[in-house]
Chains A and B, each alone.
Chain A
Amino acid sequence: MKTQYQRAWLFVTPVLLLVAFNALIPMMTVVNYSVQETFGDNLFFWQGLDWFEQVLRSERFHNALGRQFLFTFLILIIEVPLGVAIALAMPRKGFWVPVCLVTMALPMLIPWNVVGAMWNIFTLPDIGLLGYLMNHTLGIPYDMTQDPVAAWVTIIVMDVWHWTSLVVLLAYAGLVSIPYAYYQAAEIDAASNWAVFRYIQLPKMKTVLTIAILLRFMDSFNIYTEPFVLTGGGPGNSTTLLSIDLVKIALGQFDLGPAAAMSLIYFAITLLASWLFYTLMTKNDNKS
C-alpha cells in the first residue's frame, strides 16, 4: 500500500513547474486571444465569445473537422486490424524477432517532415518509384498534386506506412506475454484458430490495444507535418486537416482571435474524444 505523504509534492514540483510553464502560460495566451480582437500594435478589444461562435458556424471549420474525422477513422480502421494481423504472424522467438522489431520501428524514428519529403520523392509522377510504377508500368493515372482522391490515398498510405508499426509492436508485446500453457490448453480443448484468437489472444491484447487505439487517435487527430510537407493541404483544400488549417489561419493570415478560438475548440474535441474512447474501451472491466 502507498503511504500518505504530502511532502511528495516536492518531488513533483520540477515537473509541475516545467509543464506549467509550457502549458499554462501559452494556454492563457490562447484564451486571451480567443476573446479579443486586435489590429496590431498591441491594441486589443474585448470580443466576448464571438470568435467561438464564428468558428463553430464557419463552413471552413466544419469541412476541416469533417476531413479530420474521416482521416482518423480511415487510418484507425486500416492500421489496427493490419497491425494485429502482422503481430499474429510474426515469429515469437529466434533470429528474425530483433530484425522485425528494428526494421518495423524504423519509420517511427524518421523526422516527420522527412517522412513527408520521402513520400513526395517516392510518389513523383515521372521520377518517383511509386509514381512511375502507377503511371507507366500499370497505366493508372496518378498525380496527387492534381487529383484529390490520389492525394487522399497517398496521405492514408503514408500514415499506414509511418504508424502501423506502433500497433504491431504493442500487439506483439501483448501476444508474447501470453503463457504457452494457454495455447496448449486450447489445443487439447480442440479450439479452432479463430477460437484461440477470439478467446485467448484478443482478450490478452485488450489493454495494449486500448493504448494503441488511443495513441493513434490522438496523434492522427493532431497530425500536421507529414501531410503538410506532402500535399500542403491540397490540391485545393482537399487534404487540409484541422492542424493545417489552424496554422494557416494563425501564422498565414495572422487571424489570432479565430485561430485561438479554434485551438481551444480543437483541444476540447481531442480531450473529449480521447476520454470517450477510454471510457468505452475500459467499461467492461469495471462491470461484473
Chain B
Amino acid sequence: MRLKSLLPAAYILFLMLPIYWLVAMSFKTTNEILAGFSLFPQTWTLANYIEIFTDPTWYWGYINSIIYVTLNTVISVTVSLPAAYAFSRYTFVGDKHLFFWLLTNRMAPAAVFALPFFQLYSAVGLFDTHVAVALAHCLFNVPLAVWILEGFMSGVPKELDETAYVDGYSFPRFFVTIFLPAIKSGVGVAAFFCFMFSWVELLLAKTLTAVEAKPIAAVMTRTASSAGYELGLLAAAGTLTIIPGAIVIYFVRNYIAKGFALGRV
C-alpha cells in the first residue's frame, strides 16, 4: 500500500518542480538570477510583483484576459444550452451530421485559423477587442460545451419535462426554474472547461489583439523576446497566471471527476 502511493507522490513532485522553480525565480533579484544557481531565493524581493502591479501594460494584460475569458465562458454556455437540449431531447433532419461537424471544429489546428481570423475580424471591425477573442474561442469551446451539456441533459429523465408541461409550465419558465437546476453540475463542468481552454490559449488571442485587448500571455512573450534577462519579471507574471486556474479548479474539484466520468471532455 505504501509502495503503491509512491508513484502518485513522485508524479506530483515532478509536476511541482517546474512550478516551484518559477515561483522561486519570481522572488529573486535580477542580480541573483544572473549571478548563478541558487535553490532558494537568497534575498527575497517583491520588486517583480510591484512592477507588474504598477505598470498598466502588465496589469491590463490580466484584466484583458479575464474579460475575454469570462465573456467567452458566458457566450459559450448560453448558446450551448438550447442546442444541447435539442440534441438530447429531439431528433431532427441532419442532427447527427450537425453534431459531428461541430466536433470536427474541436480538431481544427488553431494555426490554420490564425491568419483568416485576423482578416475576418479586421473586416468586421472587431480587431483588438475583447469580443473578438471571446468569439474566436467559441470555435473550440462551443462544440465542447454542447458535448458536455448534452451528456448531462441525457442523464435527466424526459419525464421531468413532461411533468412540468402537464403542470402548466411554459417552456422558458420550465427551462430556467426546473431544468437548469437539475443540470447545474453539468453547467459548472462546461463552464470550467470553457474557462480553462480560453484561459490557456495564446495563438488566436495574440493574433486578434494589438494594444487595447492584449492578453497577459501576449505581454509576456514581448518581455521574453525583447529583454532576455528580465527572467524574474517573467517568472512573476507566469506565477500570477497560475492563480486564476488554481482558484477555479479548487472550486470545481468535486465536479471534475464527475465530468470526466461522463466520458466527455
A53 within 8 A of B: no
Is the CB of A181 closer than 8 A to any CB of chain B?
no
Instruction: Fill in one digit per residue for B1-34: 1 if any A CB lies within 8 Å of its CB, else 0.
Output: 0001111100110111111111001000000011
Q: Which B residues are CB-close (under 8 A) to A25?
A: 116, 120
A121 touching B22, Cβ below 8 Å: yes
- Is B253 a contact partner of A101 (Cβ separation < 8 A)? yes
Check B115–A256 contact: CB distance below 8 A: yes
CB distance from A126 to the nearest CB of B (A): 7
A280 at the interface (CB under 8 A from B): no
Q: Are A110 and B200 in contact (CB under 8 A)?
A: yes
B residues 108-163 near A (Cβ < 8 Å) are 108-117, 119-120, 135-136, 138-139, 142-143, 146
Query: Do the beta carbons of B199 and A229 come within 8 Å of each other?
Result: no
Assembly CA distance A122 to B98 (angstroms): 44
Contact indicator B253/A106 (Cβ below 8 Å): no
**Stretch in A54-62, A86-94, A195-203 with 4+ CB within 8 Å of B:** A86-94
Residue of A nearest to B123 (CB): A25
CB pair A247 B245 closer than 8 Å: no
Q: Which of A44-52, A127-135, A184-192 lies at the interface with chain B?
A: A127-135
The interface on chain B, measured as residues whose beta carbon lies within 8 A of the other chain's beta carbons, has a size of: 94
Q: By the criterion CB–CB under 8 Å, are B8 and A89 in contact?
A: yes
**How long is the Cα–Cα vector from A4 to B39 in the complex, in angstroms?**
65
The answer to whether A15 and B15 have CB atoms under 8 Å apart is: no
Interface: A207 (CB within 8 A): yes
Q: Is the CB of B4 within 8 A of A222?
A: no
Interface code A106-129, partner B: CB below 8 Å = 1, 0 otherwise?
Answer: 111111111001111110001111
Answer whether residue B231 sits at the interface, using C-beta atoms and an 8 A cutoff.
yes
Closest to B154 in A: A2
CA distance A168 to B11 in the complex (A): 11
Interface: B105 (CB within 8 A): yes
On chain B, the residues within 8 Å of A12 by CB distance are 82-83, 86-87, 98
**Chain B residue with Cβ nearest A248:** B111
- Given A109-B249, A117-B234, answer yes or no on A89-B7 (Cβ-Cβ < 8 Å): yes
B261 beta carbon closer than 8 Å to chain A: yes
| Residue among A6, A102, A111 with most chain B CB within 10 A | A111
Residues in chain B near residue A9, CB distance under 8 A: 86, 92-93
- In chain B between 225 and 260, which residues have their CB closer than 8 angstroms to a CB of chain A? 231, 234-235, 238, 241-242, 244-246, 248-250, 253-254, 256-258, 260
Q: Chain A residues near B139 (CB, 8 Å)?
A: 19, 22-23
Name the contact of A251 in the complex, choosing from B80, B114, B120, B221 (C-beta under 8 A). Answer: B114
Compute how far the CA of A211 lies from the CA of B235 in the bound complex, rounded to whole angstroms: 34
- Given A19-B139, A103-B15, A103-B16, check contact A247 B111 (CB 8 Å): yes
Instruction: Tell yes or no: A77 within 8 A of B by CB.
Output: no
For B89, what are the chain A residues with a Cβ–Cβ distance below 8 Å?
2-3, 5, 8
User: What 1/0 mask marks residues of chain A from 57 to 90 whose CB sits below 8 Å from any chain B CB?
Assistant: 0000000000000000000000000100110011
Q: Which of A102, A170, A224 contacts B260 (CB 8 A)?
A: A170
Q: Which residues of B contact A263 (CB under 8 A)?
A: 109, 111-112
Say yes or no for B50: interface residue by CB 8 A criterion.
no
Contact of B220 among A15, A22, A30, A117 (CB under 8 A): A117
A-chain residues with CB within 8 Å of residue B136 when the two chains form the complex: 22
| Residue A16 lies at the interface, judged by CB distance under 8 Å to chain B | yes
Task: Give chain A residues whose Cβ lies under 8 Å from the Cβ of B202.
Answer: 111-113, 225
The CA-CA distance from A21 to B21 in the complex, in Å, is 42
Q: Is B172 an interface residue (CB 8 A)?
A: no
With an 8 A cutoff between CB atoms, is A246 at the interface?
Answer: yes
Chain A residues closer than 8 Å to B91, beta-carbon distance: 2-5
| Interface pair A229/B17, CB less than 8 Å apart | no
If A4-B92, A12-B98 are given as contacts, then 11 extra A-B residue pairs at C-beta distance below 8 Å, sorted by A number, are A8-B92, A82-B11, A89-B7, A100-B8, A105-B256, A111-B199, A225-B203, A246-B112, A247-B111, A266-B109, A271-B107
Pairs across A and B, CB under 8 Å, 29 listed: A6-B93, A14-B79, A16-B83, A18-B138, A19-B102, A19-B142, A19-B143, A21-B135, A22-B139, A23-B108, A27-B116, A30-B116, A106-B249, A108-B200, A109-B245, A112-B217, A117-B238, A118-B18, A121-B22, A126-B37, A127-B37, A128-B21, A166-B265, A172-B260, A222-B107, A225-B203, A229-B221, A271-B107, A274-B107
**A residues whose Cβ falls under 8 Å from a Cβ of B:** 2-9, 11-12, 14-16, 18-19, 21-23, 25-27, 29-30, 82, 85-86, 89-91, 96, 98, 100-114, 117-122, 126-130, 132, 136, 161, 164-166, 168-170, 172-174, 176-177, 207-208, 211, 215, 218, 221-222, 224-225, 229, 242-244, 246-247, 250-251, 256, 259, 263-264, 266-267, 270-271, 274
User: Which 5 pairs from chain A and chain B are nearest by CB?
Assistant: A109-B245, A26-B116, A11-B86, A173-B260, A222-B109
